[in-house]
Amino acid sequence: MLGFVETELFIGGKWVPASSGNRFDVLDPATGDVIATVADGSESDAISAVDAASAAAAGWAATPPRVRGEALRRAWELMTERADALAKLISLENGKALTDAKGEVTYAAEFFRWFAEEAVRGDGLVTTAPSGANRIVVVRQPVGVCVLVTPWNFPAAMATRKIGPALAAGCTVILKPASDTPLTALAMAAILAEAGVPDGVVNVLPSRSSGKVVGKMLHDPRVRKLSFTGSTEVGRILLAQAADQVVNTSMELGGNAPFVVFADADLDAALDGAMIAKMRNGGEACTAANRFYVEESIAGEFSRLLASRMSALVVGPGTDEKTQVGPLVNEDTVAKVDGLVRGALESGASAVTGGTRPDGPGFYYPPTVLTGVAADAPILREEIFGPVAPIVTFGSEQEAVRLANDTEFGLVAYVYTGDLARGLRVSEAIEAGMVGLNRGLVSDPAAPFGGVKQSGIGREGGHEGLLEYLESKYIAVNW
């Protein structure tokens, strides 16, 4: 059991048990053992959290932007000071390798620093109406009480990417973390309280009854915003629910990233990028390269070299310093990955490395490279969310773009080429919210992160991330 992390609900600045008295287990993915039990929030706890967020809303909105920013800046400092302990916690409940967890803590903390700086940039507009009759004044005001729903794959960063801009904008929040990884979210609440964020501004509500709890809050008229990160499947349900009270929504949903390598690319750079785009977080990232499209003339060499790098990775418990690939988060995830690989193998693909699920304990899947994958195989259509790289060949630029766009998703794409004009042309033609051009990593708190098509609505990070939590009010003035 963990002595140093709070395991109750965090409502109105207090640690409180669930009103039902219920708790749920959090497992270590490396063993399947219980590492903690956490208070299981109910619909009535959800209303208490909305009460607290609502009571704190006017005071926080009126708090000077500089003061809001300084609290976020202090939270960045505290996260940075405690980076090792937080990384261990993430690794323990999520399973990811410590190096990935440390990377996540830095990335997550950076959202607090970035939005500490953005808090003072909620700019508006003053202009003269084209008729000359009046002035147009536009001011930005906080949206109000926000419900934030986050996934398990980046338990710290997906929370700070929402809490940072919400608090900077003057909104109060209720965070509903994934039930596989509530401990990191509770640790974030403790840090924000220590950083001086007033009671009720941030509330954290772990719950095993996500549908009921989130549904209850979305039907409370005091809630004005939903920011969701998770699967497209759940995103669709929440968009429909948000429609009932016309709640402002930001949706960061699933991905199916193509990784396109042209024959003129620097092969070593493409392999370095492929390893990051595929293996960051053990493949459990919405930005993970899901489909590799490699030009025919270099496909054999690329596959062989990628397989050699993938098979050299050290697989083990995330908390072990030597580990490069930890277990997947839970049994369902490993079963899904295994099913997709088996399906591809049964339809004619070959495993150059990996491809077989090991015996337990723990939710492990080996780094795997598949070649000869059929164009209509489910592994190319669905998010794999594991350490598996399916490789498909293409013959022309047009074919590469057509294959890359053959999906309902549009979060991110990666393109490797030595020809800058082609790189930019293909980047423009690919339907995605983000493109890594000769680069296997796009995530950056200073840049607008988000997808097109069924990968989402809205952007997180950059200045756009702040605007998601502000409403424009236009005042027509005569003076």
Smallest distance from the beta carbon of 319 to ligand NAP, in angstroms? 21
Smallest distance from the beta carbon of 213 to ligand NAP, in angstroms? 7
Report the distance separating Cα 166 and Cα 468, nearest Å: 8
Q: Residue 252 catalytic?
A: yes
User: Which residue, 273 or 450, has its beta carbon nearer to ligand NAP?
Assistant: 450
User: Which residue, 89 or 218, has its beta carbon nearer to ligand NAP?
Assistant: 218
User: Which residue, 18 or 294, has its beta carbon nearer to ligand NAP?
Assistant: 18
Smallest distance from the beta carbon of 312 to ligand NAP, in angstroms? 27
User: Which residue, 271 or 389, has its beta carbon nearer to ligand NAP?
Assistant: 389
Smallest distance from the beta carbon of 260 to ligand NAP, in angstroms? 20
Binding site for ligand NAP (CB under 6 A): 149-154, 158, 176-180, 210-211, 214, 229-231, 234, 237-238, 252-255, 286, 383, 411, 451, 456
Could you give the C-alpha distances from 318 to 140, 156, 287, 436, in angstroms and in order? 44, 16, 20, 27
Residue nearest to ligand NAP (CB): 230
User: Which residue, 78 or 107, has its beta carbon nearer to ligand NAP?
Assistant: 107
User: Which residue, 104 or 295, has its beta carbon nearer to ligand NAP?
Assistant: 104
Q: By C-alpha distance, which of 284, 290, 273 is closest to 327?
A: 284
Smallest distance from the beta carbon of 240 to ligand NAP, in angstroms? 10
Report the distance separating Cα 323 and Cα 49, nearest Å: 39
Smallest distance from the beta carbon of 350 to ligand NAP, in angstroms? 27
Q: Indicate which residue of 93, 146, 286, 460 is catalytic.
A: 286
Smallest distance from the beta carbon of 149 to ligand NAP, in angstroms? 5
Q: Indicate which residue of 104, 252, 460, 468 is catalytic.
A: 252
Smallest distance from the beta carbon of 352 to ligand NAP, in angstroms? 25
Q: Residue 171 catalytic?
A: no
Buried/exposed 391-411: b ≥16 CB within 10 Å, e otherwise: bbbbeebeebbebbeebebbb
User: Which residue, 74 or 225, has its beta carbon nearer to ligand NAP?
Assistant: 225
User: Which residue, 204 or 265, has its beta carbon nearer to ligand NAP?
Assistant: 204
Catalytic residues: 252, 286
